[in-house]
């Protein structure tokens, strides 16, 4: 969607000064956003019989918080989601999945929030799989790495 804003561009060519007025196509572009994978991304698509506790899933901890478990190990996320920017207290990550704002994992809700904030485009990075998918890259089974990656990217 083209913006009503204009950008003036000036230059010099063959000793002639020129000025053009061009319309901006995009406003704010967010280049470092994180999408939070829904708890059912992997549990609904992978065989519990074959993969057992290796499937990424959320478990309720003794202190009442929720934690992602990947390959039987707790993830290194500070909370159950990377959602601080969407929380009332931006310095706090949600501790339970029930506290995760829908705009963090729902595409429709994210688009509404982007519209409210004036963000036209957003580059999203996964959360549970880690930066550059290093969490999945550390797993010991090559087939598991491929399958987890495919399920993340094709949803």
**What is the rounded average pLDDT of the residues 40-59?**
89
97 pLDDT band (50/70/90 cuts)? very high
Q: Is the confidence at residue 106, as pLDDT, over 90?
A: yes
Domain coordinates of the chain in residue numbers?
28-154
114-123 long-range CB contacts below 8 Å, 24 or more apart? 114/30, 117/28, 118/27, 118/28, 119/27, 119/28, 119/29, 119/30, 120/1, 120/26, 120/27, 120/28, 120/29, 121/26, 121/29, 121/30, 122/29, 122/30, 122/33, 123/29, 123/30, 123/31, 123/32, 123/33
pLDDT at 2: 43
pLDDT at 62: 95
Say how far apart CA 126 and CA 105 lie, in whole Å.
Answer: 10
pLDDT at 47: 87
Torsion of CA 23, 24, 25, 27, to 10 degrees: -150
Give the Cβ contact number of residue 30 at 10 Å: 13
59 pLDDT band (50/70/90 cuts)? very high
pLDDT at 149: 61
């Amino acid at each position: 969607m083209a913006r009503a804003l204009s950008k003036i561009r000036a230059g010099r060519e063959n000793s002639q000064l020129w000025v053009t007025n061009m319309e901006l196509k995009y406003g704010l572009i967010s280049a470092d956003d994180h999408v939070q994978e829904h708890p059912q991304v992997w549990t609904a698509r992978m065989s519990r019989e074959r993969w057992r506790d290796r499937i990424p899933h959320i478990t309720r901890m003794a202190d009442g918080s929720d934690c992602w478990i990947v390959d039987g190990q707790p993830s290194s996320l500070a909370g159950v989601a990377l959602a601080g920017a969407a929380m009332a207290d931006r310095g706090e990550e949600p501790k339970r999945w029930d506290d995760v704002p829908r705009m963090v994992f729902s595409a429709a809700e994210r688009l509404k929030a982007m519209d409210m904030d004036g963000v036209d485009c957003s580059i999203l990075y996964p959360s549970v799989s880690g930066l550059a998918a290093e969490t999945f890259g550390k797993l010991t089974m090559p087939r598991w790495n491929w399958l987890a990656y495919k399920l993340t990217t094709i949803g």
